């Protein structure tokens, strides 16, 4: 989707941080931008920053009723061409063993199910706009690589799920002419901890807002990207219909090490001795309608598996 001028975008979590940066960049491309957020005042302020054509859209990505109302409001204006599912939350830093059911429900309800709900709510409009239609889901570099010893396990879990969902969604919507990308940012200056604490529903308990990383560690701040710099990268990714959109080229070695470890474990696995281990039943499963409802030829599936690693690493060079 190269020509964004005159089209309409909806960006969730757009009152601050990365969402604001993306909304501003899309506005500079001449798009009408629906600045969607739980923070209505913040969304209105960003809409004023963007100027003509932008408007605030109060939206709760955990509520189907809110999303239905937001979709109706957008449809009455122009309908969506670009959907950026950026709303996200983070838990206080602590081991996964200390995370409660309420913690898990909160982070997954926004970082995963919020994306799923938003796609479901706005997909009819995107289908009407296709082939001038695109979806961007914000995950994280932490959705490709876990960082041992860094206590953000629930966040990483939710972002891995977002990456898997997005890669699957791209395959489903490609025949309809709808592009799908996953944004995998590295460390970006934002107020995610504060907004996560403020927006947590009372029924799921409360959480304290940690000091912003940039303020707490000035040295770390020098390696963090300003949120406004993410927007142009997303615009470029939409224009090129990239599957993965990266912000930090220095994250490439981490991804390479992960895939190298995966391949090493394949090499260390016992060699198949039976028809079952060589793939007989797998071929059957892939041909079975339950496991392969789209009846994709087995050869095409196996070729796709071979190419998975090649689709990630080269995109750091884009």
In Å, how far are 11, 142, 294, 300 from 61, measured between CA atoms? 11, 21, 30, 36
Catalytically active residues are 155
Q: What is the CATH number of the domain that holds 148?
A: 3.40.50.720
Q: 27 lies in a domain?
A: yes
Averaged pLDDT of the chain: 88
b/e 12-30 (16+ beta carbons within 10 angstroms → b): bbbbbbbbbbbbbbbbebe
Question: How far apart are alpha carbons 219 and 117 in whole angstroms?
Answer: 38
Residue 157 tokens, joined = 């879990």
Question: How far apart are alpha carbons 138 and 153 in whole angstroms?
Answer: 17
Pair (280, 216) in one structural domain: no
Structural domain tally of the chain?
Answer: 2
- Which residues on neighbouring strands pair with residue 184, listed in sequence order? 246
Q: 227 lies in a domain?
A: yes
Pair (158, 294) in one structural domain: no
Q: Provide the sign of the torsion angle of the four alpha carbons 292, 297, 302, 303, taken in this order.
A: negative
Q: What would the pLDDT profile of 126-171 be if each residue is shown by its tens digit?
A: 999 999 999 999 999 999 999 888 899 999 999 999 999 999 999 9
Residue 46 tokens, joined = 């960003």
As a whole number of angstroms, the longest Cα–Cα distance in the chain is 67
CB atoms within 10 A of CB 136: 24
Q: Is 75 exposed, middle or buried (0-12, 13-18, 19+ CB in 10 A)?
A: middle
Question: How far apart are alpha carbons 94 and 168 in whole angstroms?
Answer: 31
Pair (71, 193) in one structural domain: yes
Among 222, 250, 278, identify where a domain stops: 250
Question: How far apart are alpha carbons 179 and 241 in whole angstroms?
Answer: 6
> Quick one: pLDDT at residue 149?
84
Q: What angle do CA 7, 11, 17 make, to 5 degrees?
A: 135
Q: Please name the residue ranges forming H helices in 51-191.
A: 64-77, 101-111, 113-129, 153-173
Q: What would the pLDDT profile of 286-317 be if each residue is shown by its tens digit?
A: 444 444 445 555 566 556 655 656 666 566 66
Q: 63 lies in a domain?
A: yes
> Quick one: pLDDT at residue 305?
57
Q: 76 lies in a domain?
A: yes
Pair (173, 102) in one structural domain: yes
- Which of the four pLDDT bands, split at 50, 70 and 90, describes residue 223? confident
Question: How far apart are alpha carbons 209 and 196 in whole angstroms?
Answer: 8
Q: What are the φ/ψ torsions at residue 215 (nearest 5 degrees)?
A: -75, -35
Pair (70, 154) in one structural domain: yes
Pair (187, 40) in one structural domain: yes
Pair (127, 234) in one structural domain: yes
DSSP 296-315: --HHHHHHHHHHHHHHHGGG
Q: What would the pLDDT profile of 197-221 be if each residue is shown by its tens digit?
A: 999 999 999 888 766 554 445 666 6
Pair (284, 149) in one structural domain: no
Q: 1 lies in a domain?
A: no
Q: Which of 5-14, 102-111, 227-236, 309-318 has the lowest mean pLDDT?
A: 309-318
Pair (220, 312) in one structural domain: no
Q: 50 lies in a domain?
A: yes
Q: 262 lies in a domain?
A: no
Q: Please name the residue ranges forming H helices in the chain.
A: 17-28, 40-50, 64-77, 101-111, 113-129, 153-173, 192-199, 213-216, 218-221, 230-240, 252-268, 275-278, 280-287, 298-312
Question: How far apart are alpha carbons 131 and 198 in whole angstroms?
Answer: 38
Average pLDDT over residues 224-247: 96
Domain that holds residue 302: 270-317
Closest CA to 136 of 105, 173, 104: 173
Among 250, 278, 307, identify where a domain stops: 250
Pair (246, 281) in one structural domain: no
Pair (246, 284) in one structural domain: no
Pair (116, 178) in one structural domain: yes
Q: 260 lies in a domain?
A: no
Among 200, 218, 250, identify where a domain stops: 250
């Amino acid at each position: 989707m190269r020509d964004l001028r005159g089209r309409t975008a909806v960006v969730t979590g757009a009152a601050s941080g990365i969402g604001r940066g993306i909304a501003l960049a899309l506005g500079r491309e001449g798009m009408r931008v629906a600045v969607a957020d739980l923070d209505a005042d913040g969304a209105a302020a960003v809409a004023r920053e963007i100027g003509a054509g932008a408007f605030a859209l109060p939206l709760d990505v955990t509520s189907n009723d809110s999303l239905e109302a937001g979709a109706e409001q957008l449809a009455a204006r122009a309908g969506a061409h670009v959907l950026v599912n950026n709303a996200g939350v983070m838990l206080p830093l602590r081991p996964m063993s200390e995370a409660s059911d309420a913690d898990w429900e909160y982070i997954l309800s926004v970082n995963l199910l919020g994306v799923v709900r938003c796609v479901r709510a706005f997909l009819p409009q995107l289908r009407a706009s296709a082939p001038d239609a695109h979806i961007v889901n914000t995950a994280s570099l932490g959705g490709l690589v876990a960082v041992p010893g860094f206590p953000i396990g629930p966040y990483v879990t939710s972002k891995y799920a977002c990456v898997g969902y997005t890669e699957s969604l791209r395959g489903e919507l490609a025949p309809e002419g709808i592009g799908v990308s996953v944004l995998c940012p590295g460390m970006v200056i934002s107020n995610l901890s504060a907004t996560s604490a403020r927006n947590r529903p009372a029924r799921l308990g409360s959480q304290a807002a940690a000091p912003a990383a940039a303020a707490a560690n000035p040295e770390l701040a020098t390696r963090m990207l300003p949120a406004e710099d993410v927007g142009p990268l997303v615009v470029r990714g939409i224009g090129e219909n990239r599957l993965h959109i990266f912000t930090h080229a220095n994250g490439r070695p981490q991804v390479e090490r992960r895939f190298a470890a995966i391949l090493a474990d394949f090499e260390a696995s016992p060699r198949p001795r039976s028809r079952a281990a060589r793939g007989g039943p797998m071929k059957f499963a892939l041909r079975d309608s339950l496991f392969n409802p789209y009846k994709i030829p087995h050869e095409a599936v196996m070729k796709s598996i071979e190419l998975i690693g090649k689709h990630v690493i080269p995109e750091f060079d884009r």
